[in-house]
Structure 1
């Protein structure tokens, strides 16, 4: 007979301890949920409290009252990460309102050793009846027992219940909004986990079939669920992972498997099995790979000649499958042969050249890059890669000309840095040329206007370059002479404030005025921060009275804006 259990003491829970358990925002929002009556189906079982909380979705909450405190789990995203969320708070407060009582703590679980001793002492007939009763409710256990009794492993498992579970988790007759998507995909994941269990339990062939069935259901349901957080792609990836594991553990017919992989990849709108190779190569074996190649090459040969800017889904999928097949079986040369068949853009050339460079074949890559630069519109990526090839060969002058062409076409900081890094000691001459080009950009005098993106950028790139080089004084002068974007004005003003605080003050005040003009709480908070910065500079200039006068005038001018006043007060501004 099993030894009696010893009760475990539980800690007393109060509203104060709940407040300590959660962060301030979670407690505040959880309290609002509780007062709004969003907690329902509150149940107490021993030291466990469960409930349903209505939020942006329906969430399941489980609280445990232990000897060390209050633990909570919730099906919301935060609760899944172990956070004592607002739904846990709401449940705890609802439980406390009903008296905060718990039942007897649950007994400690029986150890395997104690249970084994107990079972060894029981009559075999009783054990058989108990095992059969459990097996009736557990198809997986029943199948394992059937196989042990001599049934064929391929026929033993009845997958109808698991098929219905997949259908119940995945199929939907309405659109799943963003707030419900997390719970939806959580349910899908749990159903897929049940399929994965079949692999370790010795039924991989059944898992293969059900994984493919689940993939079909997921594709059918894809347009009825909000996938903003990538839950669909994650679920498809999980099903593909289970499929590969099951194929590796089982003995699928390689030819049939190859046909299903290619058929699904060509038909899928969600890239199912698109990346089957090289992962399935060992599973397919020679016969399966031969059939896979036959089907992919047939689809490849059926494609019409590629026209410029032809980026159809069908062409992309077939070409990708062919590229993976070529890489898997023939390496770089086979892949380049595939890529070279339909060269109709600079990007096509770039991919060939990148693969050649990866194999250390820079001279061949340069031949392709030269062709791409001659036949297609200017492409900075082609010039950059060609410059890298020349640099590796010690041809710095040729690299400089290519990188200069990139800068001349797009005079931005990124291209300036690329030229700087490549030319090393030869850079000063290129720098003079680049700075002269940037100084020719049209000047812009306005700054911090209500619509900042509607005005010219002035000499913003020159200011960025000078800041990157660490010359704050020259950057300030460039901004004064030619203007720049607002965020650069702030950067250069803050640099200027280190040595010339009086120069930076007007910039910070103008930026604060612009933020106030946006008329929302976040912009008022930004304005308060800018004014705080300005206040420090006024103090450094021994002008505290001027700052107070400015704030007084500002408060008077914006008297109706209560939210602005609150943010100014919160920042302790005069």
Structure 2
């Protein structure tokens, strides 16, 4: 579960495990590392193990070295684990029995004692009391307090390490809203849920919700609001107005509310009002994302014509042709294939100069050309794309299309390589990743041409070394010059990655000398290098590890 690296590191933390407690269901422990971390291990009924740790690596969902250390500590006392679990179950039963034997007064005293020391518990019970005693003001205040990010925020932002705790607290707001509805106060729940949705929507952009926990809370709030509306049956027109305002408000992206989930609540008067508001909003701002989504959703729900949908999309065409593709798909689904292809072709023509065409749009057009036997058309599209934005992927696509049309070997390939050569002149080539020309020639397995291009200045270190690896069995002398060339600058560098890289290059050089039958020369070179670098103990250890 941990992987070799975390497992190996966990071995070094066995002495850092403390406060190990083996419960009947959960094992908990504290592990001292860079900080003090809390670990939980759970084994389900099928024997599957899961672990959680509040260290940064563990909070990303990984079975970290601290979980490993706690688990190995438990395994170190495996013989006693069944007895410890049995004892924990006995303690739980004893506590239950003791609580059941207390008088009402004793239990109240015990609860009040805990409330004095635990503010979170006090807030949760105050919320339950407000729900039970019909005090909407307190319930509202407590629910909004549960959604307040300030206690968890650092410099106004809830970081990943704190988001889990905030999510657990915020989830209680969902429970409280549902309790209001269950207690016969659905109308109050509707109003409080609206405020809660807005509060979380405003805060959501300031939370690192990588695990989606806060998104789940937002979904829960939306569901609690819908449940309350179905029970309370608020004014349909006013509800429609609130829903449309909510869905058009950019701070409410976190809540996944669908207007038509409320169809039963809104009835025909509410739906009519919602339709009126959505159309007006779209006409006022046809490029707005929310407005566009709502009008599209409205048309589909109402069974609107495909031409109406096309008009909506055509009002705001994306510069990379993606919207043309959306329109083409709608038309094709409606059985209007010819018009669909026209829109897709138009999308390719209208791509703005600063943008690359949408990959899916290109594929859409090429696939339909191929089905119609228009292979030359596919080649032309792929050729134009290579000329506009030279890349290995564009070269590969052109090669595939041209081979299908029996037009690759000869002028088409030669023209493509000229495009790459012109784009990657040595004084203008990319600083990172080498030249596309060399990558394309290697991809073609044309190693002689790739070597010549590299010699002409078109290759970076990565490409030179990749070429050396490919040719060293047949041209060991050429490959050897490459390895030796890139070893030399590493003599002045330090660091684990440098030492590993030097070892890899030396292994390549040794392979070349073996093929050439000059192993004694390599031994002399290696001995001189080790003597020159002998003060770098880590490098010497790395070379020893690789048998050098």
Q: TM-score scaled by structure 1? A: 0.67
1:433 Cα deviation after fit: 1.8
CA distance 1:527–1:157, shift in 2 (3 Å): same
Partner of 1:402: 381
Contact preservation (8 Å) 2:310, 2:327: yes
For 1:342-353, what aligned pairs fall within 5 Å after superposition?
342-343=316-317, 345=319, 347=321, 348-353=323-328
CA distance in 2, matches of 1:170, 1:552: 63
Partner of 1:531: 506
CA distance in 2, matches of 1:530, 1:207: 69
Contact preservation (8 Å) 1:383, 1:406: no
CA distance in 2, matches of 1:88, 1:346: 49
**Residue number among 502, 522, 527 corresponding to 2:477 in the alignment:** 502
Partner of 2:7: 23
1:557 Cα deviation after fit: 5.0
Contact preservation (8 Å) 1:157, 1:203: no
> Which stretch has the larger CA shift, 515-524 or 406-415?
515-524
**Residue number among 449, 465, 486 corresponding to 2:440 in the alignment:** 465
CA distance in 2, matches of 1:332, 1:514: 65
Partner of 2:412: 433
Whether 1:336 and 2:310 are equivalent positions in the alignment is: yes
CA distance in 1, matches of 2:71, 2:156: 25
Partner of 1:388: 367
Contact preservation (8 Å) 1:479, 1:489: yes
Partner of 1:83: 63
Partner of 2:221: 243
Partner of 1:546: 521
1:273 Cα deviation after fit: 4.1
Contact preservation (8 Å) 2:306, 2:330: yes
CA distance 1:104–1:368, shift in 2 (3 Å): closer
Partner of 2:276: 294
CA distance 1:294–1:29, shift in 2 (3 Å): farther
CA distance 1:501–1:255, shift in 2 (3 Å): farther
Contact preservation (8 Å) 1:362, 1:389: no
SS at match of 1:106: helix
CA distance in 2, matches of 1:29, 1:525: 27
SS at match of 2:159: helix
Q: Which runs of 5+ in 2 are unaligned?
A: 77-83, 113-121
**Residue number among 145, 166, 185 corresponding to 2:147 in the alignment:** 166
- Superposed CA deviations along residues 283-333 of structure 1, whole A, max 9, x for unmatched, are 655444433333322222223x87xxxxxxxx3333333333334433643
> Which stretch has the larger CA shift, 128-137 or 260-269?
128-137
Partner of 2:88: 106
1:535 Cα deviation after fit: 2.2
CA distance in 2, matches of 1:345, 1:494: 43
Contact preservation (8 Å) 2:171, 2:217: no
Whether 1:175 and 2:150 are equivalent positions in the alignment is: no
**Residue number among 148, 159, 165 corresponding to 1:187 in the alignment:** 165
Contact preservation (8 Å) 1:208, 1:247: yes
CA distance 1:317–1:29, shift in 2 (3 Å): farther
Contact preservation (8 Å) 2:218, 2:256: no
Aligned residues: 500
For 1:470-509, what aligned pairs fall within 5 Å after superposition?
470-472=445-447, 475-480=450-455, 483-509=458-484
Partner of 2:245: 263
CA distance in 2, matches of 1:503, 1:195: 70
Contact preservation (8 Å) 1:170, 1:221: no
- Superposed CA deviations along residues 32-62 of structure 1, whole A, max 9, x for unmatched, are xx5xxxx9xx768787775585846x64346
SS at match of 1:83: coil
1:241 Cα deviation after fit: 1.6
For 1:53-68, what aligned pairs fall within 5 Å after superposition?
55=34, 59-61=37-39
1:390 Cα deviation after fit: 2.2
Partner of 1:9: none
Q: Provide the alpha-carbon RMSD of the alignment.
A: 5.2
Contact preservation (8 Å) 1:297, 1:322: yes
1:242 Cα deviation after fit: 0.6
